[in-house]
Each structure stands twice: as structure tokens, then as C-alpha cells.
Amino acid sequence: MKDSIAGIRSNINSKSSSVASLPLILDIDDFKGDFSFDALFGNLVNDLLPSFQDEEADSADGVGGSAVLATGHARAPSDAAKLAQGLSSPLFPEVDSLLSLFRDSCRELIDLRKQIDGRLYNFKKEVSVQDSKHRKTLAELEKGVDGLFDSFARLDTRISSVGQTAAKIGDHLQSADAQRETASQTIELIKYMMEFNGSPGDLMELSPLFSDDSRVAEAASIAQKLRSFAEEDIGRQDLTVTSVMGNATASRGLEVAVTNLQDYCNELENRLLVRFDAASQKRELSTMAECANFLSQFNRGTSAMQHYVATRPMFIDVEVMNADSRLVLGDQGSQASPSNVARGLSSLFKEITDTVRKEAATIIAVYPSPNDVMSILVQRVLEQRVTALLDKLLVKPSLVNLPTMEEGGLLLYLRMLAVAYEKTQELARDLRAVGCGDLDVEGLTESLFSSHKDEYPEHEQASLRQLYQAKMEELCAESQQPSESTGTIGRSKGASAASSHQQISVTVVTEFVRWNEEAISRCTLFSSLPATLAANVKAVFTCLLDQVGQYITEGLERARDGLTEAATLRERFVLGTSVSRRVAAAAASAAEAAAAAGESSFRSFMVAVQRCGSSVAMVQQYFANSISRLLLPVDGAHAASCEEMAKAMSTAEAAAYKGLQQCIETVMAEVERLLPAEQKATDYRSPDDGMAPDHRPTNACTKVVAYLSRVLEAAFTALEGLNKQAFLTELGNRLHKGLLNHWQKFTFNPSGGLRLKRDITEYGEFVRSFNAPSVGEKFELLGIMANVFIVAPESLSTLFEGTPSIRKDAQRFIQLREDYKSAKLASRLGSLWTSSS
């Protein structure tokens, strides 16, 4: 189109001076492609417009002083110039040419449109015809495709049927081939069986297969099949009742074959084992693996595995066994200690674990089933090497003839057993980590100690009894060391000194508990089931209860012996009234010595009671902290042990009760000795000499209170709780009764009554420290009763108005008044006593 337009421009330029021009020739191709109306119009008019613009520019250049605008148009200097220019030439000189051009272009465009419309019409007709043909063709194609699909479906069905038939034929062919192969193998096996069915022991006429080293695996497999078949046939023949001659002959022939096959298999296996051993010596792992694969044809390789394990140096070298013993037990003749044995076992078992780990690397590289070999190896280690060492280490002692304490006693055996068991369990865990196949290594380890664990509870209890017996012998030997004294009093002092060595010791009870703790730790180690553990713990704890109960009971009894001896001494020096002054003085001196012995025995017994309480508290604390948690998982075990503990302590409680009663008797005996010895008749019936009455306690009261304060200091320290309260209450009641009996021997005047009231106040203040309300109340009533000696006879009846409960005791006291008969108090108070009764 650009070329056409260029032609138009040249045509217009050649005729620019004329008004009319030749028609334009536009081509349809000019409108193809990237058509632009603006470009077409511009190309049509731009050929005419430049001439006009050039002329305008020339006229503008002739005018002086004119200015050119930035748009290309000249600016006239004045309106007059514009008018003159307009009159001389037209504004658009090419209008006619452009108009003619536009008209021609319009006509040609209309013609082009008509041509295009014609062509479009023709194209529509052609497209309609072609579309009809296409539709017809598509319909025919669809029918053809449907037919083709039907053909494909029939073909697919046919192919499937043929495939199934071919598969069946293939299965039959495969089955036939398998049968043919089986028949061929059977023929070969029958041929080989006939070869082995020759003369017994004749292996020279066998096929080359059985002597070819390169075909060992095949020969071994065939030999095993023949052997299995022959043995099964012989077994069937043995179960058959018929006795046909042919069968019997066949049976004998197969027996010959079995014998020859067994000989051949043994010879082949031995040959492979020789090769395997030679390769093992050279560490040729590939050859070893090859032989192991061949040997797996025989009994799944079990014999080869066992042969390999049995040939390990640690099982056949005697020096290894001796080295194990020296490492653990030390030099021959010396007694090994548990700590040294523990270190030796740790070192030895570490060495064994390292050896097994090295063997495991070889086994994994050589054997097709290494777990089976590891199982055999670990089992051999435990059953041979470890068992041999344990047999030397653990010699079970007899419960009839126990080893002496110089030899370590049963305790040494139990400690060795615990160390060996614990270290062997660690070895089992280490071997399990290295690998031991399906072997129950923990169960095997337990079986090594089964004979020891079966009798363990009896040995543990016997050991505790042996330790207790040895300790008692040691304490007895220590108590006999002090030198014996001569003389009666000297002998008592010597016995007291000896008894001090046999006094209850909390340290000894602590040692009993420590033995029991160690035994309980072994019970926990050896007892895996809760019921078994509870039974063993209960038995061991019962031993502690028996030991502590017996020890503290015997200690209390020994302390009581001192009290009994002091009582005997007191009774020995009780004299009648008709003795000389010299004898009486000697008896008094001996009585004082007996009193001193009694006071010393009292203190010793109180110390024994205190230590007894501490020992019992220690056992109870030990039970709560260590024993209870082991018994609670089993129903009834905890309650049964509590009953055992109460039963064991009851004997000691009975001994303590008897001893405390003796202590009261000892104290009261001394009080009853001091009162008549120190109390004077004038203390309560002082003469009426006009002197001021003495308000101090009597000498007897002072000495009795001083004695009680001194001796009961040990009781206040030793006793506590209800025991202390019961003891002091009983002593207070006995003191009250003793004082009443003592005062019944005296006669009282008013000043003596005041002195008695002062004594009662002193006694009351002392017994107030007992914290026994009933005792304090009795002494308060005594203070009230003492008023019967102070008030005038006519005022006596008023004393009992507020406290009628003391009338009975007051009646006896009133009879002790100095003026009882002179004042005729019996008749005066007769009505009072009658009303109270």
C-alpha cells in the first residue's frame, strides 16, 4: 500500500499546478496486514500540503522584521500586512486537488467494498458446502470408530481367552518341567543311593561329585537328602507290622546305605573342619566363611559351631584357668577378701567381655547365622569359664559345722556370694550388649547360683546367730578382765564393777542393726519376686528382734542382779534389839555399805533402762525406714513383723517392769532405814520450855529428801513419758504409805505437829516434781491431817467438815496426840466416827 500511495504522491506532484488529476488506483492488498486509516490519509494529503507550506515559507522570508513561531507559522508584523497578503493569494491553494483526490479515493473504496462483499459471499457458499461434506465425513468416521471399538472389544476378549489358555498351558508345562526335574533328581538320587548301597564301608566307587572339593556344598546337600530319606524309610519299616521278605531285604539295604552315608558325612565334615581350622590359624576369613557355609549342611552347622567354640584358647588353655584363679583369689594359701575379689572379678569379666567382642567380629564375618554361634559361645563362657571360677570361689559351708570366725565365718561366704552374684550379673548384661543370640543369658546366670540361693535364707540367719554369739563371747571376756576383790563388801563392789562391763550398750545394738542392714541388702540382691523378698526380709528382721530382745533382756536381768544382791546385803545385816553396841555399830556400817550398793545398783539399772529404750527406738526407726517398704507389697507381711516386734520386746518390758519394782523396793528400803535411824522422839514432842518452836524440817526429813533427790535424778533422766509417770506415781504412793506407817510410831504435841507439818510440806514440794496429780493430792491431804495435832480438842470436829474423806486416817492420827487420853478425845469424837462409818 505504501508503494501505491507513493505513486499517487508522484502523480500529484507532477500535476500540482492543475486542478484536476487522474483517478487513484487502490489495491485490496493495501488494506491487509497492519492497516491504519491515519497513515492512509496522511500519505494521501501530505504530497499536496508541502508545496503550499513551502510557498508560504518563501513569502514569509521576503517580509522584513517578521518572526517565525516555534510551530513553523510566520507572524505578520501588522494587520495591514495580513490583509494585503490575503488579497494577493488564496488561503488553501490545493483544496481542489485534495477534493478531487478524496472523491476518487471514495469511488475506489466503494468498488473495493463491492469486490470484497462478492468474495465473502462466494466464500460463505464454499464454506457451507465444505461444512456439509465435513459433517457427512464425521458421521461416517463415527460409524467406523464404533465398529472399530467393537472389533477391539472382541479382540480383547479373544486375547484374554488366549492368555488364560496360555497361562494354563504354561502352568502345565511348568508342572511338567518340575516333575521332569524332580524325576531327573530322583533318578540321580537313586543312582547315588545305589552307589552308597554297596558294601559296608566301601566309599571308593562313588561318583566324582563326592570327591570334588569344588562341589562340596552340592555333595553335602545330596548326602544329607539321601541320609534323611534312608532313615525315614527305615523308620517306616520299623513301624510296619508286615514281615514281607522283600521289605526286609530293602530295609537291610537302606541300613547299609545309611551307614555308608553317615561315614561319608563324617569324613566330609572332618575334612571341612580341618580346612576350617587351617584357615582359622591363618586368619583367612574368606576360607573360613566358605567352609562354614559348607558345614551348615550338616546338622545346620551345629557341630561346626560347637567345634569352633570349643577350640577357643580360653576354653582349652589350662594356664588361662589358673590365671583366672590367681587374679580373683590371689596367691594360693592366702585368704581373699571380698573387696579384692570384687576388683579381681571386675578385671576378669572385663577381659572376658573384650575377648567375646573380638570373637564376635570374627563370627559375624564367617558364619551365615552368627547369632547361633554367639549363643553357643556365651553359654560356654558362663558354663565353663565362669562356673569353674565360682566353684573355687564359693565353697558352700555346712550348717552343722560352721566355719570359725577366725576363718571369716558364714559372713565371709555370704559376702563372697553377693560380690560374685553382682559381678556375674554385670557380666551377663555386658555379654547381652555384645550379642548372644536367643540365649537367655540372665536365666543362665541365675542357674549358676541356684544351689547357693536355695539355702541362702538359712545361711543368712545362721550367720547372724554366729555373729551374735561371737559378740556375746567377746563382751563376756571383756567383763571378766577386772581383778576380783576380797571380803564381803569387796566382793559386792567387784560384782558391781563387773556388771558395769556387761551393761547394755547402744553401740552393740547399733552393730546388730548394721549386720541386719547388710543382710537385708543381700536379700534384696538375691530375691527378685516380692513374695520371696518379703519372706526373706521378715526372717532376717526376726533375727534382729531376737538378738536385740535377748541382749537387752539379759542386760536388764544383769542390772536386776545388782538390785537383788543389794537387797540380800540389806537383809543380811538386819539385827534384833538385844545386841551389843559394838555389834550394832558394825551392823550399821555394813547397812550403809549395803545402801550404797543399792544406790549404785539403782543407778545402773536406770542406765540400763535408758539404753534399752534407745535400743528399742533404734530398732523401730530401722523398721520404719528400711523394712516396711519391703514388706508392704505382700499382704499381711508388715502386720506379722509388727507382731513379732511387739512379742520380742515384751520379754524386755517384763524384765524392765520387775527391775523398776525392785528399784522402788530399794529406794523405800533406804527410806525406811533412814527414817528410824535419823528420826528422834523429841522431833515431834518437843518440851514446853518456853523457847520458840523450830520451823525447820527434821533431820530425817532432810536426809530422806536429799537421798530421794540424789537417787531419783537417774530415774528422771532414764525414764520418759508414761513409763516415768507410772514409776513416780507408784513410788509416791509407796512413800506416802511408808511415811504414814513411820509417823504411827510417834506421839505429837502441838509444837511437834507444827514440825510434822513442816516435814509434810518438804515432802510435798519434792513429790510435786513427780508431776503425778494423785500423789500430790495425797500429800496435800497429809498437810491438812497434820492440823489434828495443832488445834485444840474442842476444834477437832470442825477440821473434817470440808474434807470428810480423811476421817479414817485422821482417826488414827488423833490417837497419836499427846493429850488423847487426858482430853478424852475418844468419847468426844465417838459420834463423829460413828457418823462417818
Q: Does 64 or 358 have the greater pLDDT score? A: 358
* Per-position b or e across 407-430, b if 16+ CB within 10 A of its CB: ebbbbbbbbbbbbbbebbbbbbeb
pLDDT at residue 83, rounded to an integer: 45
Task: For Cα atoms 75, 77, 81, give the angle at the middle one, nearest 5 degrees.
Answer: 100
Q: How far apart are CA 603 and CA 576, in angstroms?
A: 30
Q: Does 222 or 239 have the greater pLDDT score? A: 222
Q: How far apart are CA 280 and CA 304, in angstroms?
A: 13
Residue 417, CB-side half-sphere exposure with 13 Å CA sphere? 28
pLDDT at residue 575, rounded to an integer: 47
Q: Is 294 exposed, middle or buried (0-12, 13-18, 19+ CB in 10 A)?
A: buried
pLDDT at residue 686, rounded to an integer: 75
Q: Is residue 205 scored above 80 in pLDDT?
A: no
Q: Is residue 755 scored above 80 in pLDDT?
A: yes
Long-range contacts of 483-492 (CB under 8 A, 24+ apart): 488/590, 489/590, 489/593, 492/565, 492/566, 492/569, 492/593, 492/597
Q: Tell me the pLDDT tens digit for each residue of 504-533.
A: 899 999 999 999 999 999 999 998 899 999
Q: Tell me the pLDDT tens digit for each residue of 541-557.
A: 999 999 999 999 999 99
> Residues near 820 by Cβ (< 8 Å), separated by ≥ 6?
814, 826
Least confident of 304-308, 681-685, 733-737, 768-772: 304-308
Residue 112, CB-side half-sphere exposure with 13 Å CA sphere? 15
Instruction: Report residue 836's pLDDT band, with 50, 70 and 90 as the boundaries.
Output: low
Q: Is residue 414 scored above 90 in pLDDT?
A: yes
Q: How far apart are CA 416 and CA 404, in angstroms?
A: 16
Instruction: Report residue 350's pLDDT band, with 50, 70 and 90 as the boundaries.
Output: very high
Map 247-276 to HEC letters.
Answer: HHHHHHHHHHHHHHHHHHHHHHHHHHHHHH
- Over residues 135-151, mean pLDDT: 89
pLDDT at residue 618, rounded to an integer: 94
pLDDT at residue 215, rounded to an integer: 66
Mapping DSSP to helix (H, G, I), strand (E, B) and coil, where does residue 685 land?
A: coil
Q: Is residue 371 scored above 80 in pLDDT?
A: yes
The single residue listed with the C-alpha cell 551345629 is 302
Q: How far apart are CA 576 and CA 584, in angstroms?
A: 9
> Residues near 468 by Cβ (< 8 Å), separated by ≥ 6?
512, 547, 550, 551
The single residue listed with the C-alpha cell 485444840 is 792
Q: How far apart are CA 725 and CA 200, in angstroms?
A: 104
Q: How far apart are CA 424 and CA 431, in angstroms?
A: 10
Q: Is residue 490 scored above 50 in pLDDT?
A: no
Q: Is residue 577 scored above 70 in pLDDT?
A: no
What's the count of helices (H) and strands (E) in the chain, helices before strands? 32, 2
Q: How far apart are CA 175 and CA 258, in angstroms?
A: 31
Q: Is residue 690 scored above 60 in pLDDT?
A: no
Return the closest-CA partner of residue 825 out of 792, 795, 793, 799. 793
Least confident of 99-113, 220-234, 551-565: 220-234
Q: Tell me the pLDDT tens digit for each residue of 665-686.
A: 999 998 998 898 888 888 888 7
> pLDDT > 70: what percent of the chain?
74
Max CA separation in the chain (angstroms): 202
pLDDT at residue 667, rounded to an integer: 92
Q: Does 758 or 180 have the greater pLDDT score? A: 758
Number of Cβ within 10 Å of residue 721's Cβ equals 8
- Cell readout for 754 is 507444827
Least confident of 69-78, 609-618, 630-639: 69-78
Q: Which amino acid is at 387?
A: T
- Cell readout for 385 is 569359664
Q: Where are the alpha helices (DSSP H) in 197-244?
A: 216-239
The single residue listed with the C-alpha cell 521289605 is 247
Which residues in 561-674 belong to E strands, given as ranges?
none
Return the closest-CA partner of residue 723 out of 602, 612, 601, 566. 612
- Over residues 4-23, mean pLDDT: 43
Q: Where are the alpha helices (DSSP H) in 480-627?
A: 488-501, 506-526, 530-572, 581-622
Q: β-pairing, 67-68 with 74-75?
A: antiparallel
Phi, psi (degrees; rounded to nearest 5) at 820: -60, -45
The single residue listed with the C-alpha cell 521332569 is 180
Q: How far apart are CA 759 and CA 275, in angstroms?
A: 115
Q: How far apart are CA 59 and CA 342, in angstroms?
A: 134
Q: Is residue 601 scored above 50 in pLDDT?
A: yes
pLDDT at residue 39, rounded to an integer: 74
* Average pLDDT taken over every residue of the chain: 79
Return the closest-CA partner of residue 359 out of 322, 311, 325, 317. 311
pLDDT at residue 66, rounded to an integer: 39
Instruction: Report residue 9's pLDDT band, with 50, 70 and 90 as the boundaries.
Output: very low
Return the closest-CA partner of residue 758 out of 676, 816, 700, 828. 700
pLDDT at residue 569, rounded to an integer: 83
- Over residues 125-154, mean pLDDT: 90
pLDDT at residue 67, rounded to an integer: 39
E strand or H helix that includes residue 100 = helix 95-196
Q: Is residue 767 scored above 70 in pLDDT?
A: yes
Instruction: Report residue 433's pLDDT band, with 50, 70 and 90 as the boundaries.
Output: very high
The single residue listed with the C-alpha cell 520451823 is 695
Q: Is residue 33 scored above 60 in pLDDT?
A: yes
Q: Tell me the pLDDT tens digit for each residue of 215-229.
A: 666 666 677 677 677
Least confident of 207-221, 354-368, 466-480, 706-720: 207-221
Q: How far apart are CA 319 and CA 282, in angstroms?
A: 23
Phi, psi (degrees; rounded to nearest 5) at 748: -120, 135
Q: Tell me the pLDDT tens digit for each residue of 257-280.
A: 667 776 777 777 777 777 777 777
- The string of DSSP codes covering 464-502 is HHHHHHHHHHHHHHHHT-SPPP-SHHHHHHHHHHHHHHT
- Over residues 109-122, mean pLDDT: 88
Phi, psi (degrees; rounded to nearest 5) at 212: -85, 115
> Residues near 699 by Cβ (< 8 Å), separated by ≥ 6?
678, 679, 680, 683
- Cell readout for 543 is 533375727
Q: Is residue 209 scored above 60 in pLDDT?
A: yes
Mapping DSSP to helix (H, G, I), strand (E, B) and coil, where does residue 333 land?
A: coil
**Start-to-end Cα distance in the chain:** 167
Return the closest-CA partner of residue 372 out of 417, 438, 285. 438
DSSP one-letter code for 368: S
Instruction: Report residue 603's pLDDT band, with 50, 70 and 90 as the boundaries.
Output: very high
Return the closest-CA partner of residue 666 out of 708, 709, 723. 708
Q: Is residue 133 scored above 60 in pLDDT?
A: yes
Phi/psi-derived region of residue 720, left when phi > 0, alpha when psi is between -120 and 50, beta in every other case: beta
The single residue listed with the C-alpha cell 544329607 is 224
pLDDT at residue 241, rounded to an integer: 41
Least confident of 283-292, 386-395, 472-481: 283-292
CB 295 within 8 A of CB 221: no
Q: How far apart are CA 584 and CA 575, in angstroms?
A: 8
pTM of the model: 0.66
- Cell readout for 416 is 563372697
Least confident of 302-316, 357-371, 697-711: 302-316
Q: Is residue 483 scored above 70 in pLDDT?
A: no
